[in-house]
Structure 1
Amino acid sequence: MSGHSKWSTIKRKKAATDQKRGNLFTKLVREITIAAKMGGGDPTGNPRLRLAIDNARANSMPAENIQRAIKKGTGELEGVTYEEISYEGYGPGGIALIIETATDNRNRTVADVRHVMNRNNGSLGETGSVSWMFQRKGSIDVPKSDASEERLMEVLLDAGLEDLDGEDENYFNVLTDVKDLENAKKALDDAGIPYENAKMDLIPDNVVEVESEDAAKAIRLIDALENCDDVQAVYSNIEISEQAMKALDS
C-alpha cells in the first residue's frame, strides 16, 4: 500500500499530541482498575494488568497512582465500579469505527458518544455491524533504527510473530496472537531491542481509502471521540492517501 497511510501509522503521528491530553492518566487508571478487578492485583499472573502497568509507566504515571488503581480494582480501596461497553458505527467516507469505553454510567456514555458522532458526520450502528471486519491482535512498534527486518524475524519467529509490517517509514509493526504478546515483548527485551506501544489492538481485515475532505472530517471525529471522558480507545479501518496526508499536515 505504498503511497498510503493506514490507521496504525496515523495513530503514531497523533501520539505526541494525544499524550498531552489531560484525560490520558484517567484512561490509564481505568484500564488498570478494570484489569485488576477482572484478573487480580498480581501482574505476574494477570497479563492484561501487566500490560496496563507497562503502558502507565511508559507515560510517566507515578507508582503510587498505579498502586492506588490496582487496589481500587481489587477492592482494597473504595472506588468507582466501571463496566466496559463497545459501540460500533460509521464515519466520513464510509469508514468503520469501534469505540471502546469504560464507564460508571452507561446512559451518560452512550449519550456522549452519540452526540459526538452526530456532530461530526458519524453515525452509530447496531452491535456487530462493523466488529466482524476486525481481529484483536497483539501489536508492538519497533523503531527501524534499532533493528533490521531480518533481526526481528530471527528474534520473534518462535515468540508468536504472525506478521511484520514495514510500510511505515520509521517503524516495524509486529503483530501476534493476543496470547503471544507477552512472549514477543520478552523476546525483544531479551534481545535488547527497544520497542514502543505494546498493546492489544483491533486490526481491520480490509481498509477504506478516503481523500482529503473526508480524511480531515474523519480525524476530527476520531479526535472528538477520544476526548470523551469515558472513551478508552477508538479503532478504524481508515486509509489515507499520501496527497490527503500532506493536506492534513499542512
Structure 2
Amino acid sequence: MAGHSQFKNIMHRKGAQDKKRAKIFARHTREIMVAARSGLPDPEQNSTLRNAIMAARAANMPKDNIDRAIKRVAGGEDVANYEDVRYEGYGPAGVAVIVDASTDNRNRTASEVRTAFSKLGGNLGETGSVSFMFDRVGSLTYPASVADADAMFEAAVEAGADNVESTDDDHEIICDPSDFADVRDALIEKFGPPTELGLQWKPQNTISLNEDQASTMLKLIDTLDDNDDVQNVSANFEIDDEIMAKLTAG
C-alpha cells in the first residue's frame, strides 16, 4: 500500500511561493550551467543536465532562458566557474542541517553560511558531521489529481521506485539515486512532467520543535535560503501544524 508522507514541512525547497521569480530562475540557470559543464551540454547524453532542465521547467522557467544557459557553456563563453559544495551543521535544538550550494567563491560562501548558523543558534560542522542521519534519494512529486494513491504506487514500483508517500495534495515518489533516471523517464511517459524532481536528503528521524525553537529554525532556513549561492536546505525537524500556522500567519 502507498506510504503516507511525514516530511512535508522538513524539506525547504526552492520554488516557494514567496520567492521572486527572478531569483528562482537565476538559481536554475546556475544549476543548468554547472550540469552542462559536468559533461556534454546535451541533455540526451547528460542525465544531470536533463534533471536540471526539467526542474527549471517545473518552475515555469522560459525555454529561451534554459537554452541560453546551455549555449553559454557550449559556446565557451567566459562565465563564472561555479562548483557544487555542501555544508553541514546543527541548528536550534540540535536539528541537523545540510546546505547545498553552488558558488564561484568557496571562501565567501563558507563565511556567509557559518555566520548564518552562528547568529541563529547553530554551528557549522565538518563534512559528514550530519549527513549520516539522512538518506540520499531521488524524488519526484506529482499532484494527487494525476492518479489515486494505489495507482501511483503501482506505477512507481513498476518503474523501479522504492516507495510513494501520498497526501491529499500530492504523491512523492522515492527511489535510489542510481535508479532515478529510469524512474523519472518511466513516470514522465505515463503521467507527464512532475511538479518537482531531483536528488534530496531525506532525514531518517525527525526532531519535533516547540514554537520558540521552530521560529528560530525557520529564520535560519530563510537566512540561508536568501543567500544567492544556496541551492537547497535540508533539515530533520518537524513542526506541528498549529505552530506552523501561527508562525506563518499574516
TM-score normalized by the length of structure 1: 0.89
Moved more, 56-65 or 153-162: 56-65
Deviation of residue 50 (structure 1)?
Answer: 0.4
Aligned to 1:68: 68
In 2, are the aligned partners of 1:6 and 1:240 still within 8 Å (CA)? Answer: no
How far, CA to CA, are the matches of 1:13 and 1:212 in structure 2? Answer: 21
Q: Partner residue of 1:221?
A: 220
1:141 pairs with 2:109: no
What are the Cα deviations for residues 116-159 of structure 1, in whole angstroms up to 9, with x where unaligned?
22222221112211011112111111222221121112212221
Q: How does 1:163-202 map to 2 (within 5 A)?
A: 163-166=163-166, 168-192=167-191, 195-202=194-201
Q: Residues 12 and 102 of structure 1: is their aligned pair in 2 closer, same or farther, counting only changes over 3 Å?
A: closer
Q: Which residue of 2 is the match for residue 100 of structure 1?
A: 100
Q: Which runs of 5+ in 1 are unaligned?
A: none
SS in 2 for 1:45: coil
- Compared CA separation, residues 91 and 106, structure 1 to 2 (3 A): same
Distance in 2 between residues matched to 1:182 and 1:14, nearest whole Å? 21
Question: Which letter does structure 2 place at the counterpart of 1:32?
Answer: I
SS of alignment partner, residue 110 of structure 1:
helix
- 2:76 and 2:244 map into 1 onto residues whose CA distance is 48
User: 2: CA distance between counterparts of 1:132 and 1:75?
Assistant: 40
Separation (CA, whole Å) in 1 of partners of 2:14 and 2:34: 26
Q: Contact 2:156/2:164 (CA < 8 Å) preserved in 1?
A: no
Superposition map of 1:69-84 within 5 A: 69-74=69-74, 76-84=76-84
- Mark the CA change 1:12 to 1:217 in structure 2 (over 3 Å): closer, same or farther: closer
Letter aligned with residue 120 of structure 2: N
Contact 2:85 / 2:102 at 8 angstroms: preserved in 1?
Answer: yes
Change in Cα spacing, 1:219 to 1:63, as seen in structure 2 (3 Å) is same
- In 2, the alpha carbon distance for the partners of 1:55 and 1:193 equals 13
Percent identity, aligned pairs only?
39
Q: CA offset at residue 191 of structure 1?
A: 2.3
Structure 2: 5+ residue stretches without partners: none
Alignment of 1:103-114 (within 5 A): 103-114=103-114
Distance 1:14 1:26, change over 3 A: closer
> Aligned residues, how many?
246
2:152 aligned partner, one-letter code? L
CA contact (8 A) 1:68 1:77 kept: no
Asked whether the 8 Å contact 2:11–2:234 carries over to 1, the reply is: no
Q: Could you list the runs of 4 or more consecutive aligned residues of structure 1 that deviate by over 6 angstroms after TM superposition?
A: none
CA distance in 1, matches of 2:65, 2:194: 24
1:17 CA drift (Å)? 2.3
Counterparts of 1:205 and 1:162, CA distance in 2: 15
1:57 positional shift? 1.9
Aligned to 2:131: 131
Do structure 1's residue 230 and structure 2's residue 208 form an aligned pair? Answer: no
- Which amino acid in 2 is paired with 1:241? D
Residue by residue, what CA displacement relative to the aligned partner does 1:179-201 show, whole Å, maximum 9, x if unpaired?
Answer: 22232233223323663111111
Quote the residue 1:121 is aligned against. Answer: 121
Question: How many angstroms apart in 1 are the aligned matches of 2:140 and 2:232?
Answer: 16
Q: Deviations over 1:164-217 (max 9, x none)?
A: 112x44122110111222322332233236631111111111111112111121
3-state DSSP of counterpart to 2:8:
helix
1:10 deviates by: 5.2
Q: Quote the residue 2:91 is aligned against.
A: 91
TM-score (norm 2): 0.89
Q: CA RMSD in A?
A: 2.3
- Report the CA distance between 1:19 and its aligned residue: 4.1
Q: Counterparts of 1:65 and 1:13 in 2: how far apart (Å)?
A: 21
Contact 2:13 2:232 in 1 (8 A): no
Q: Deviations over 1:85-104 (max 9, x none)?
A: 11111111211101111111
- Is the deviation greater in 38-47 or in 59-68? 59-68
